[in-house]
Homo-oligomer: A and B are copies of this chain.
Amino acid sequence: MTETVRLSWKTVRDRVHARVLDGTYAPGDRLPRDEDLAEQFGCARSTVQRAMQDLSLSGIVERRRKGGTRVRRDPVTRATLDIPITRNEVESRGAVYGYQLIEQTTAPPAPAIAARLEIPGAEDMLRVRALHLSDGRPFVFEDRWVSLRTVPEIREIDLAAQSANEWLVRNKPYTRCDLRFYAINADADTAGILETDEGAALMVIERTTWIGGDPITSVKALTAPGYQILTRS
């Protein structure tokens, strides 16, 4: 009896990946063409194609038309990062979420902010400074600028009752998102808000979003000491 199992493209992907792992296909090597692999595995080329597409996406191989498929010479660690709404982040840890609006003003942003949003600047924007709490303790302090041109509706929202974070993410989907992570020492002001010591090392998450070519918002989220970002496996 011949084997009549139908190989799924994920199985093919894993078996090709295994060959990369065990050195059958070494870094820089060219892999057989999809058609030959299909014959080897006894499946259709479309199945191999789907498998290779995934391996290509995860940075294991590189594919070029006519050039074929090669094992990436310098593999990168490619990870997927999920950044949830702060409320969900707090609640999924079993803590009680709290929120506090600190300041809400309208003003032209500093040049650095305008640059981040890729706009000329000098245009009034909404600035919101707010604190997210976890079990009553400071969790994330966000300093946010929102484009009133792209998101005029936000004027009508009571940002003391609902965080701009939630309102925006639920009502203003974006097409592009830039993220930036770095560490800073807390200044006196920030330390006060986050109830920590001046100079404490804080992780900063900067997120800027656009819809089409229009800027939505740029946030600088200063996290309380001990905050960690984890990748999902």
Contacts and interface: CB of A to CB of B under 8 A. Distances in A.
A169 interface: yes
Contacts of A177: 77, 79, 231
Chain A: interface secondary structure? strand
Nearest to A58: B80
Given A183-B201, A199-B185, A170 B79 contact: no
A23 B79 CA distance: 30
Interface string A202-214: 1110010001000
Interface in A166-181: 169-170, 173, 175-181
Contacts of A79: 80-81, 83, 177, 179
A76 interface: yes
A74 interface: yes
A220 to B, nearest CB: 13
Given A78-B81, A177-B231, 6 more contacts: A76-B85, A79-B80, A176-B233, A178-B233, A182-B228, A185-B200
Interface of A: 17, 20-21, 27, 59, 74-85, 88, 169-170, 173, 175-185, 199-204, 207, 211, 225-231, 233
